[in-house]
Structures are given as C-alpha cells and as structure tokens.
Amino acid sequence: MKQHLLNLSLSELAAHFDTWGEPRYRAEQVALWTLRKGAKSFEEMTDLPRTLRSRLNNEFTITSPPALDTQTAHDNSTTKVLLDLGKGEAIETVRMDYDPDSNRIEGRSTICVSTQAGCAIGCIFCATGQQGFTRNLTAAEIVAQVLYFTRERPITNVVFMGMGEPLANYDAMLRAIRWLVDEQGFNIRQRGITVSTVGLIRPIERLAKEQLQIGLTISLHAPDDELRRYLIPNAGNVTINALLETGTKYQQATKRRITYAYALLEGVNDKPEQARTLAKTLRGRPIHVNLIPYNPTAGDNLRRPKPDRVLAFLREMRIAGINTTVREERGIEIAAACGQLRTDMLDNSQTT
C-alpha cells in the first residue's frame, strides 16, 4: 500500500527527495501544494517536473478521509464533521468560530481534532471513553481534520480535545503538531495549539522537552485521588500531586501556563466543599482552572449541575484566589462540544 505523504515530516520528505537526486526545496513545494493550495493529487502540482509527479504518485498518496456527514449550528458558529476512516470507523472534528468582538479582538477559528478512534481511558462521563478503544490515528489523519476546514476559512487555533487521548498516541500527535506549526506547513502560531490530556506523566515530560510553546490542559475532574480514580478508571495510579508537579515542570520548560479542566457532574464533584479542597490543593501555583459543566451523553445517569451550582463552585474557587472560568458553550444544539463526540451523531439523522 502507498504511504501517506503527511505521515512523513518535512525533513524526512526532504531526505527522501535527496535519495531521488531531487533538491530538498521540492519537499517544501509539495507541502505547500498539499496543505495550503488544497491539491488533491500530485498531478495538480504543476511546478514539479512531470516525471517527479508520477514518481510521487507511485509511492505516496495525499488523499483525505471523505466526510460522511456535517452539522452546523443555527448561528453558523459551530460546524461538526464526521470523517470516514474506512472499515466502519469514523471520527469527528469540530470547528468553532469566534467573530471579532467589541474590543476588536481578532476573529478566531478553532478546530477541535481527534487523535484516536475511541479511547482506552474510559472516563465515565465521556462518550468516547464509553465506546472503548479501536485504534490510533495516523499523523496524516490528524492533519486531514485541519485540512478539511482550512478550505473554508483560515484556522487560528487547534485544540487536541476531540476523541481520544493525544498523549497515548504521541508520535502521530507530534508529527501532526509539526505540520501545523511549521512555516512550510500550516504556519499556525505555536501559542494557538493546545493539547488536552488526562494526565500521562511521562509523555507530558517528553512534550516539555520538544522546544514547543504549545498550551497544555490537564483534565483533573476531582479534588482527591479516590474520586479521580472513579471518574477516570484507566489512567494508572497517578496522583493529583504528581500531576501538579509535572504540570509545573511543563510550565517552567515552556513558559506556558497550565490549564486544569474540571468537568462538573451534579452531586459527584460539584459541591462547594469540593471546590474548597480543590482550591487548597492548587493554591500557590500560577495555573488556570476551566470548569466544564457536564454535557449529558446518552446511556448513563450522570447529570449537569444547575447554573447556580456552577456559579457557587466558581465563586468558591475565586474567593480562594484561583484563576477560574467556566467554558463557553458552543453549538450546543448540535452537541458539538468537544469531548462528546460521534455517538450521538450516528443516531441522529438531522443533517445539513
């Protein structure tokens, strides 16, 4: 089978051209065509010699997974696409647009990408986790999700918050990130990229050493280890303290502030005293907490807290001096929020 070109890095591609006796700048030309000019075949790359085009075509492919379905929120701010990976597998990608606001903050377009089909961590509140793990995505499959949307509007931010645990698919994730931030790739600002992880210590340490300035979100969800292990069954025996220490190391290495995500579940982890315990644990660290009121996913008996409960939790955190926000909901009517992907879409025939 032919190899997907985007599974190679730019320098690997250049090295490959070298073995063909081709100048290295050909790699940049091919990257430009594939990522920025939307070429669907090597044949379209008209500034490459014809012989090179057919040689590339014999060895590589640049095809993207086709869309099976798309849904768009009524205000057009959010679009979700279901991409067909073949063999009955599909993944979701979401685009969220933020138009220039009254403070003239420039318009943003954020893509939420998936890194695995399913997820082995099995968080009890997560539709992907409940689905189980099928396979890792390739770098090309991750890049293809961004590529799908760049055809419509320039992308300013990419968040690794779709299906799967990015740090459990480290190599493909990193290759995809390099294509996103490379000047000859999508050329997205490093600060516009955020990886969200359930908290795998070794890979976080590794990411800290990659000389990248990308943001890191660590999913915490509980003020104590026992509750955390109940909510996140298969993440190993990592303690909250070990996670915070690792987060601090990442911050020191990258100069990027860590965000801790906390999904709020009614009666489970949303009590004011739990907020106080959490605040105490986090005190003294220059971090940010993002509260995510639970998005109800089918087939379980968890509930989203009422708005006043969310506000009470937020207030406790702020009184204790912890920098905390509540995640803005986007495109809720199509359940497009990251972390609640696919399952509902397959049962829902409402299509645009």
Residues 6+ apart with CB under 8 A from 114: 91, 92, 93, 137, 142, 145, 162, 163, 164, 341
Q: Applying CB under 6 A, which of residues 5, 96, 121, 310 lies at the interface with ligand SF4?
A: 121
Q: Which of 45, 91, 109, 164 binds ligand SF4 (CB under 6 A)?
A: 164
Q: Which of residues 229-288 bind ligand SAH (CB under 6 A)?
A: 261, 263
Among ligand SF4, ligand SAH, none, what binds residue 340 when CB lies within 5 to 8 Å by partner kind? ligand SAH
Residue 297 touches which of ligand SAH, ligand SF4, none (Cβ within 5-8 Å per kind): ligand SAH
Contact mark string toward ligand SAH, 161..190, x via CB under 6 A: x---x-------------------------
Q: Judged by CB, which is closer to ligand SF4: 199, or 305? A: 199
Residue 214, helix vs strand vs coil: coil
Residue 161 binds which of ligand SAH, ligand SF4, none (CB < 5-8 A, kind-dependent): ligand SAH
- State in angstroms the smallest separation of the CB of 174 from ligand SF4: 18
219 binds ligand SAH (CB under 6 A): yes
Residue 339 interacts with ligand SAH (CB under 6 A)?
yes
Q: In three state form, how does the secondary structure of 53-88 look? A: HHHHHHHEECCCCCEEEEEECCCCCEEEEEEEEECC
State yes or no: is 123 an active-site residue.
Answer: no
- Per DSSP, 120 falls in state S
For 174, the enclosing helix (H) or strand (E) is helix 170-181
Round to whole Å and give the CA distance between 292 and 339: 10
Residue 120 burial (CB count, 10 A)? 15
Q: Which of 119, 142, 193, 265 binds ligand SF4 (CB under 6 A)?
A: 119
Q: Is residue 291 involved in binding ligand SAH (CB under 6 A)?
A: no
The binder of 344, among ligand SF4, ligand SAH, none, by C-beta within 5 to 8 A per type, is: none
44 given a catalytic annotation: no
Q: How far apart are CA 78 and CA 72, in angstroms?
A: 6
How many of the other CB atoms lie within 10 Å of CB of 252? 10
- Name which of 29 and 234 has its Cβ closer to ligand SAH: 234
* Phi, psi (rounded to 5 degrees) for 36: -105, -30
When asked if residue 294 is in the footprint of ligand SAH (CB under 6 A), the reply is yes
Give the number of residues in contact with ligand SF4, rule: CB under 6 A.
11
Token pair 């986090």: residue: 282
Whole-number Å distance between alpha carbons of 90 and 66: 10
Among 134, 194, 254, 297, binds ligand SAH (CB under 6 A): 297
Which two tokens mark 302? 């968890």
Binding site for ligand SF4 (CB under 6 A): 119, 121-123, 126, 128-129, 164-165, 198, 339
